[in-house]
Amino acid sequence: MKAYFFDLDGTLTDARPGLNLSFRAACRALGFAEASDRDLERFLGSPLPEAFRVLNPKISHSDIVKGMAAFRKAYETEGLAQNHIYPGVKECLRDIAHKGAINCVVTSKPEHYANRVVDDLGIRPFVKTVIGAGLDEVDTKAELIARALSATGIVAKDAIMLGDRHYDIIGALETKVLPVGALWGYGSYDELHGAGCRHFVASPHEFHDRYVKSEAGFPGADGAKPNYLQA
């Protein structure tokens, strides 16, 4: 593979505590009932407008904007810091970059926040591009993956998309990119399989072994770093 596209929350990082805290702040602002962590599981990794419409199918645009503002205020002040990288992720990204392939974060999280997470968790040296949603969070995953293909100059057959929710699988299939399901994330095997995924990994270490280390040329025939790793 020449390019590896990664979802962020639930795939590279566990953002659950901060997302739940922020979503509760949004629910309070909108007058929704207080929800438990278990109740909020279904919304992890979902665009905020879609999550709000599940809770209230008749919600107005102004209330969506209000809820998103409350979510982001809580996320910026407390939630963003409650984000942890999964074991094995940094090593996987490092080895992909060192063999000359491209790492690209492709997330439905607003791009501004995704860049902050990438910087805060120390994986910027291994990531060439971050593709995220706009602040209105209406971009589909297929649109985001298409942008990633354009930004990296890679054709779909040379790219792979690792993600933990059905959005990632559907987006990859619609853009002809190979989808791989991350079973440690926020979605289930049934959700991913139902979306059309047929390749799964149980941990970042397994992804590394099956889709990075096993490829010919690992860790790089000439040992040279790609341009974006040069210090």
Mean pLDDT by 10 residues, the chain (231 residues): 96 94 93 87 87 93 95 92 95 95 96 95 96 89 98 96 97 98 96 97 96 62 40 35
Q: Check residue 220 and give its pLDDT.
A: 38
For the chain, the domains span 3-14+84-216, 16-81
Q: Fold for domain 3-14+84-216?
A: Rossmann fold (3.40.50)
Q: Over the stretch 42-72, which tens digit does the pLDDT of each residue have? A: 888 888 898 999 999 999 999 999 999 999 9
CATH architecture of 16-81: Orthogonal Bundle (1.10)
Q: What is the spatial distance between Cα 218 and Cα 48, in angstroms, rounded to a whole number? A: 39
Q: Check residue 186 and give its pLDDT.
A: 94
* pTM reported for the whole predicted model: 0.86
